[in-house]
């Protein structure tokens, strides 16, 4: 399949590109600095703004599915104190809103979006310490993720939301998934979450559902 990965240069985006390429798919990596990614067979790098409708209109046609891993890669404390310097605070919701409109026009229906555990249907399942951390450190990002999810749920696309717990860069691909918000460990690797994205794209399962991913 031909897959568009939006937010491809972040840790999660890179892992998703790797997982899809390893399975033999063709990947278009869209990010502001996608050309910084190492060149690989079946990988097309597109430098562009994921919140720009014209960019999405140009790149979407011809793709079978989209994976969205938008986010702010700057340190959470600095973003909380000073705001994001290189990325809009609402990049998740803005990018997803423009994607929905562009996908409708291009006839692309399958979209898998990475959000965060503790948003939407899993909000009430957070531990007290996690609630406090979210409120203190990443409240704007969580608000943006809530809006992102609501936009997706209100669309007619064949969407699935992936909600990982705390992400790490360990090499393990071990993971546990659920659709009722249950988790096993409190951490999961980006490589493991990328495998879930790839499975959802290939199998076209869990349409209209939220998938929690833990280690």
Nearest to residue 7, comparing CAs of 110, 77, 101, 112? 112
Cα separation, 20 vs 25, whole angstroms: 6
**Residue 119 and residue 163 in contact, taking contact as beta carbons nearer than 8 Å:** yes
**Which pLDDT value is given to residue 131?**
76
Q: What percent of the chain has pLDDT over 90?
A: 82
Cα separation, 176 vs 91, whole angstroms: 28
**Which pLDDT value is given to residue 142?**
86
**Residue 16 and residue 68 in contact, taking contact as beta carbons nearer than 8 Å:** no
Per-residue pLDDT of 9-44, as tens digits, reads: 999 999 999 999 999 999 999 999 999 999 999 999
Cα separation, 80 vs 57, whole angstroms: 33
How many CB atoms within 10 Å of residue 40? 13
Per-residue pLDDT of 142-171, as tens digits, reads: 889 999 999 999 999 999 999 999 999 999
Task: Report the predicted TM-score, pTM, of the whole model to 2 decimal places.
Answer: 0.93
- As a whole number, mean pLDDT of residues 120-130 equals 89
Q: pLDDT: is 154 or 77 the higher one?
A: 154
Q: Give the phi and the psi of residue 6 in degrees, each rounded to 5.
A: -100, 125
- As a whole number, mean pLDDT of residues 117-137 equals 83
């Amino acid at each position: 399949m031909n897959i568009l990965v939006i937010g491809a240069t972040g840790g999660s985006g890179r892992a998703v590109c790797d997982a899809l390429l390893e399975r033999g798919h063709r990947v278009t990596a869209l990010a502001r600095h996608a050309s910084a990614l190492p060149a690989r067979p079946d990988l097309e790098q597109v430098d562009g703004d994921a919140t720009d409708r014209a960019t999405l209109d140009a790149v979407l046609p011809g793709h079978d599915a989209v994976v969205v891993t938008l986010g702010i890669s700057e340190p959470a404390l600095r973003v909380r104190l000073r705001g994001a310097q290189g990325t809009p605070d609402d990049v998740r919701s803005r990018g997803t809103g423009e994607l929905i409109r562009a996908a409708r026009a291009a006839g692309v229906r399958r979209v898998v979006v990475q959000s965060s555990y503790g948003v939407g249907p899993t909000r009430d399942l957070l531990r007290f310490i996690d609630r406090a951390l979210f409120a203190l450190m990443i409240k704007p990002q969580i608000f943006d993720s809530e809006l992102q999810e609501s936009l997706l749920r209100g669309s007619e696309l064949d969407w699935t939301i992936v909600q990982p717990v705390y992400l790490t860069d360990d090499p393990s691909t071990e993971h546990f998934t659920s659709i009722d918000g249950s988790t096993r460990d409190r951490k999961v690797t980006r490589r493991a979450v990328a495998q879930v994205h790839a499975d959802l794209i290939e199998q076209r399962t869990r349409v209209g559902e939220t998938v929690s991913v833990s280690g």
